[in-house]
Chain A
Amino acid sequence: DSGVTQTPKHLITATGQRVTLRCSPRSGDLSVYWYQQSLDQGLQFLIQYYNGEERAKGNILERFSAQQFPDLHSELNLSSLELGDSALYFCASSVAPAGRGLNNEQFFGPGTRLTVL
């Protein structure tokens, strides 16, 4: 158990809908990362937050957005869902802030499996 929690474990929804995935980082971790894992694109970085602020953006679609709250939990919002958005979505957390001369270990949660029908 990494200490990172994600809810829900599974989510089944229809095209055009909107969903919210939730992540709670390990105790003491300030940075949260979101990754998408699909069969055709592998594990891809989406977005990173540190202490409530967006720090880095990867291949995240405009239909997707995220935020990190004062209690450090994070939510990933996916809207206007398409069949191709079906994937595993992972949250990871780390202690150190980005760009402070320290690449700290990232610990992954169990993921949310999203199925868009």
Chain B
Amino acid sequence: GENVEQHPSTLSVQEGDSAVIKCTYSDSASNYFPWYKQELGKGPQLIIDIRSNVGEKKDQRIAVTLNKTAKHFSLHITETQPEDSAVYFCAASKETSGSRLTFGEGTQLTVNP
């Protein structure tokens, strides 16, 4: 089955700096890659996603890039703010598996004011 690896497990940045989280996946048939933000005591919140026919997608301070050949995708957060502090999860899925999500291990992002 699919395996998703995520790095780093923890990331600490200063407010205003950029943060980058990287994921690799194993199944070349995967074609949908969402990113979730999970705050303490809450459920994962979808923040951005990318499909395999697109190489990059931006939404304000957040961007995701996908390299299908290398089977990796990354989340980029610019101008970080303290409220960006949370655990971020990458995930992968493919339609033939019923769209189930396989998650990475998560990255604890801390933005220091």
Interface residues of A (CB under 8 A from B): 2, 4, 31, 33, 35, 42-45, 48, 55-56, 58, 90, 92, 94, 96, 98-111
Contacts and interface: CB of A to CB of B under 8 A. Distances in A.
Given A106-B34, A108-B45, A101 B99 contact: no
A2 B106 contact: no
A104 B42 CA distance: 21
B32 A55 contact: no
A107 B98 contact: no
B95 A108 contact: no
A42 B5 CA distance: 12
A108 B35 CA distance: 12
A103 B95 contact: yes
A43 B44 contact: yes
Nearest to B4: A42
A69 B42 CA distance: 26
Nearest to B6: A42
Nearest to A33: B100
Contacts of B43: 2, 4, 90, 108-111
Contacts of B104: 42
B67 to A, nearest CB: 19
B25 interface: no
Nearest to B33: A103
Contacts of B49: 105
